[in-house]
Amino acid sequence: MATLEFAILGLLHEGPMHGYELRKQLATKLGAIRAAISYGTLYPTLRRLQVASWITEAGETPATDDAVPPLTSRRGRVVYKITAEGKERFGELLAEAGPETWEDAGFGVHFAFFARTDQATRLRILEGRRRKVEERREGLRDVLARAAERLDAYTLELQRHGLDACEREVRWLEELIANERSGRTPPTTRPGPSTTPPPSRPVDPGRP
């Protein structure tokens, strides 16, 4: 099951939506980067879900409805809803915790629906994702240790940026895992970022 199909089933499980609103909700739920979805990708996926009997059309939003831009095509106004079979399939997908749920795209979609996922499955996914990111972190450390002198300054900065991102994610995952084990939910608010910019580090293109 592709991550987009899983995400669509999850959103329609919350209520019927027309194509235009579904695309907007995908961006809201998953973030703009993961959900940079064109209509050319969305509608073939909706068609596959219909053929599988997991969703069905529930009518059409009137062209005068303010929720849909006036020039939106008929496909954008068709309302889709999840079927009983689709709800069952979505429940099966929520229970998955294998390697595909540790990858970037799979983890992002599953995490978006963690509120509907049982605690044991959430914990398995988080621990698997932590192992995945730790492996990536160790690989970057190895590259920096062995090849730093052969890298130009900008490639070296890119490797350091990747390593920093991995280290931040591992810390974040460890916090989430600790919360799951203690029965706590993540805080709904976070402290705001510091207004003091970090000190700049000049980059000499001639030196790594």
Q: Give the DSSP letter string of 160-178.
A: HHHHHHHHHHHHHHHHHHH
Domain boundaries, the chain: 3-94, 119-182
- pLDDT by position in tens, the chain (length 208): 478 899 999 999 999 998 888 888 888 877 644 545 666 778 899 999 999 999 999 876 655 555 555 545 555 578 999 999 999 999 999 999 999 999 988 898 999 999 999 999 999 999 999 999 999 999 999 989 888 888 899 999 999 999 999 999 999 999 999 999 998 887 766 654 444 444 445 445 454 4
CB-neighbour burial class of residue 7 (10 A; exposed 0-12, middle 13-18, buried 19+): buried
CA-wise closest residue to 46 among 71, 78, 69: 78
pTM of this structure: 0.78
- Domain made up of 3-94: CATH architecture: Orthogonal Bundle (1.10)
